[in-house]
């Protein structure tokens, strides 16, 4: 498994010369299994530079695991370039929100309201699928097993354990 951090900041992106060493974009981690399956944890502003590199390997199937719906973990999602190209697939994985009574599809529905963003989901060319996850219920993404774990945060928040070919990684964004 290979891991690349495209964004590590919280709350607000701060790219520039003072943040070059550790990065100035908000949370986004690219994980590639040994079979080159693409798993992305969070869609902060770091997902935009990641998406620019993905244009070299079209068509793209991206499985994006959202830890939670706070802005710094999702704000790059509408600018994920493969969403605008036919033949690509975005699978957005995340929690069911007990407060709203909705699944992960609410993240895109709110962000892509026409008053907030000029392109509606219906106008995006990629296929967008939603996978609502339950705590400690593992799913398969290609050769990887992904298990979400409930974390302590003001909103429903998952940490993710990803196992593939005898290797594993665990990531959590925010946790009190």
Q: What is the pLDDT of residues 11-22, one digit of tens each?
A: 888 888 888 777
Q: What whole-number percentage of the chain has pLDDT above 70?
A: 100
pTM metric for this prediction: 0.95
Determine the distance from the C-alpha atom of residue 43 to the mean position of all C-alpha atoms in its chain, rounded to a whole number.
Answer: 4
Give the 3-state secondary structure of residue 122: helix
Domain that holds residue 86: 2-12+19-172
pLDDT band at 2 (very low <50, low <70, confident <90, very high): very high
Q: Averaged over 10-39, what is the pLDDT?
A: 90
- Pair type for strands 2-7 and 158-164: unpaired
- Six token digits for residue 61: 């199937």
Going by the DSSP 8-state scheme, the letter that residue 108 receives in this structure is: H
Domain harbouring 23, CATH code: 3.60.15.10
pLDDT band at 95 (very low <50, low <70, confident <90, very high): very high
Q: How crowded is residue 124: how many other Cβ atoms within 10 Å of its Cβ?
A: 20
How many separate domains does the chain show? 1
Mean pLDDT (the chain) is 94
Q: What is the pLDDT of residues 45-58, one digit of tens each?
A: 999 999 999 999 99
What b/e sequence results for 84-123 when a residue is b if at least 16 CB atoms lie within 10 Å of its CB, and e otherwise?
eeeebebbbbbbebeeeeebbbbbbeebbeeeeeeeebee
């Amino acid at each position: 498994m290979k891991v690349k951090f495209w964004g590590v900041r919280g709350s607000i992106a701060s790219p520039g010369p003072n943040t070059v060493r550790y990065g100035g974009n908000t949370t986004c981690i690219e994980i590639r299994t040994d079979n080159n399956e693409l798993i992305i944890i969070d869609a902060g502003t770091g997902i935009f530079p990641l998406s620019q590199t993905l244009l070299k390997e079209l068509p793209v199937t991206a499985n994006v695991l959202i830890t939670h719906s706070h802005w710094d973990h999702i704000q790059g999602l509408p600018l994920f370039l493969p969403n605008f190209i036919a033949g690509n697939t975005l699978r957005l994985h995340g929690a069911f929100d007990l407060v709203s009574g909705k699944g992960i599809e609410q993240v895109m529905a709110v962000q892509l309201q026409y008053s907030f963003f000029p392109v509606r989901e219906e106008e995006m060319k990629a296929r967008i699928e939603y996978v609502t996850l339950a705590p400690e219920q593992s799913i398969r993404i290609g050769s990887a097993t992904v298990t979400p774990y409930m974390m302590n945060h003001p909103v429903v928040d998952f940490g993710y354990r990803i196992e593939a070919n005898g290797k594993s990684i665990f990531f959590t964004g925010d946790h009190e």
